[in-house]
Structure 1
Amino acid sequence: MTNTKGKRRGTRYMFSRPFRKHGVVPLATYMRIYKKGDIVDIKGMGTVQKGMPHKCYH
């Protein structure tokens, strides 16, 4: 029987990378500078497991 509880339950397609976008994440993704008051969209990436937000924020 499958596990019905957990942080990544039901995220098979939610956290997957798009077609032809697999592999190393560009460094510009991490080096971007945000200022106070900027509106950001929090999206988790399946390629990076450390610091992944909960699925309700995706």
Structure 2
Amino acid sequence: MAHHNGTRKKTRYKLKKDLRRRGIVPVTAVIQQFEIGQKVHVVCEPSIQKGMPNRRFHGKTGTVMGQRGRAWVLSIRDGDKDKVVIARPQHLKAQR
């Protein structure tokens, strides 16, 4: 039998929207701008698959290192290492 190890494996509950949050994403989530060095939360938006970071970074907080096209380059502490994650703004929220 084949291996079924896709990028969204074991995400049935993690990448599921609440009933009242379903539908299209507001434009303000797409046009967000961040400063270099700003802290942001990674909260994956399941209705948009492009630019979605890996499921292991869902719920983590990272620092903005720069921009690459429409996406943002983040540095996230994972265990004892700093990982570089590229994510689009729909999957990011500014820390307050």
User: Please, what TM-score do these two structures have when normalized by structure 2?
Assistant: 0.53
Count of residue correspondences? 58
Considering Cα pairs closer than 8 Å and 6+ residues apart, tell me whether 1 or 2 has the greater RCO: 1
CA distances 1:6-36 after superposition (whole Å, capped 9, x unpaired): 2111101111112301001000001121111
User: Please, what TM-score do these two structures have when normalized by structure 1?
Assistant: 0.82
Q: Tell me the equivalent position of 1:27.
A: 27
Q: Per the alignment, in what secondary structure is the counterpart of residue 41 of structure 1?
A: strand
Give the Cα separation in 1 of the matches to 2:7 and 2:31. 27
Give the Cα separation in 2 of the matches to 1:52 and 1:33. 17
Which runs of structure 1 show a deviation greater than 3 angstroms over 4 or more consecutive aligned residues? Answer: none
RMSD of the TM alignment (CA)?
Answer: 1.9
**Uncovered stretches (5+) of structure 1, i.e. residues with no partner:** none
| Bigger share in strand | 2
Q: Is the 8 A contact 1:44 1:52 kept in 2?
A: yes
Q: Is the 8 A contact 1:15 1:45 kept in 2?
A: yes
